[in-house]
A and B are shown apart, each in its own frame.
Chain A
Amino acid sequence: MSEDDYVDLDRIDMTVQELLTEMKDISEVIVDLAYASLMYNSREMAMRVNELEDEMEELKYAMRVKALMAARTREDAKQLSGILQIASAADRISHAAGEIVELLDVAPEKRPFITNLINESDEKIRMIRISPSSDMAGNTIGKLGVEANTGMKIIALKNRYGWTYDPDDNVKLRAGDDIIVSGTEDGGNRLSEFASGRIPWEFDEERSGEDE
């Protein structure tokens, strides 16, 4: 690849639909991650936000190239312009998340209200540890269907290998792992009960079948 080839060729091979799906997904997780980085004062999480921001930028350029190549008629151009507008908006959301994590440079005592703000929000962020007596230990996120059963989205996971952000469904949870989740208070309380082993996990037959 020549030096002035800014657009990642892998992404150019993605379809417009794949690009748009990816951009939408990032636009949703990146804001949660940004708030979580402030809440836990985590540089590492902020770096992940910046990486996602860069990735979004690449996707946006790939999208522009694809859209221009696809436009043949006036009608095509009209429809594709709508898609480009969505892509730009998703990109703007990622930059706003980037602005949020920049607040980490401010000393924590100058931003005490931020933790309070996140705690009072409709969408709450909390850290939960998986206990050895929990049914969650030893199962993958996908098999458990964590979000489907509790409404809580796992935005980060800390295990013996370190941190994973926005972990995939095939990642296995183990006793002692910490997960950072976002969702409602009620969902968080329910997930804590499962994670501590106080209540057994309600496995879904169909879901465990689909997993393999």
Chain B
Amino acid sequence: MNKIESMLLELKDTSEFMIDLAYSSLLYNNSEIAEEVEFLERKMDDLSADIQEAIVNLGMQQPQEIAKFSVILRLQMAIEDIANAAASIADVVLRGLGDHPVIQMSIQESEVTIEKALIAPNSILKDKSLGELRLGSHCGMYVIAIKRDDMFIYNPGRDEVLREGDVLIANGPDDAADFFIGLADGSEKEL
């Protein structure tokens, strides 16, 4: 994979993560999460500019490949649009317009739900890494952020070890939510 392709990959992955994060900022009317979306949005702007510049340079060197390069640019613009839309969702929270019960309820009613769960002292998730637990493929819930000691860890990696008192924010199908909460509060003993 060349440099442009890996930049495009980062752009795509970040845009998808931003949507998840933006909807969670709405659900909890949480401006810290919304600010992270804005931060990512600025990162996306820089990355988009880098991709465009690289494409222009490459296009001058290899004019015969111009059709392929235009596809990359079109894809980059569509992905940037998605990121902008996510930032616009987070903006609702930052402007103080997110405090309406209809917003929270409509996210809870959605096919993809977002749940918050506190790791209890007797939870089987405690002291295990996300890579080891594989929560996504075993209970359908993907951890998008962890709140630990008043700090957020966004898009935690496989090596992140969960601690007692951590608050996990995860998204997944509504029929997975109860089991996920049970795992965190210690009532479910097997993953």
Contact = CB atoms under 8 A, between A and B. Distances in A.
Say whether A associates with B.
yes
Interface stretch (B41-49, B53-61, B119-127, B172-180): B172-180
B40 interface: no
Contacts of B62: none
Contacts of A17: 102, 105-106, 109
A7 interface: no
A52 interface: no
B88 A116 contact: no
B6 to A, nearest CB: 8
17 contacts: A20-B103, A24-B110, A28-B111, A31-B16, A79-B99, A83-B102, A86-B26, A86-B89, A89-B86, A95-B81, A96-B81, A110-B71, A111-B71, A113-B72, A117-B8, A145-B176, A183-B137
Interface string A98-111: 01101100100011
Contacts of A110: 67-68, 71
Contacts of B110: 21, 24-25
Contacts of A122: 13, 16-17
A92 interface: yes
Interface residues of B, number: 57
Interface of A: 16-18, 20-21, 24-25, 27-29, 31, 78-83, 85-86, 88-90, 92-93, 95-97, 99-100, 102-103, 106, 110-114, 116-117, 120-123, 142, 145, 147-153, 183-184, 186-187, 189-190, 204, 207
B85 A93 contact: yes
Contacts of B112: 24-25, 28
Interface of B: 1, 5, 8-9, 12-13, 16-17, 19, 22-23, 26, 67-68, 71-72, 74-75, 77-79, 81-82, 84-86, 88-89, 91-92, 95, 97-100, 102-103, 105-107, 109-112, 134, 136-142, 172-173, 175-176, 179
Given A20-B102, A148-B139, A150-B137, A114 B88 contact: no
A25 B19 CA distance: 12
Contacts, number: 170
B98 to A, nearest CB: 6
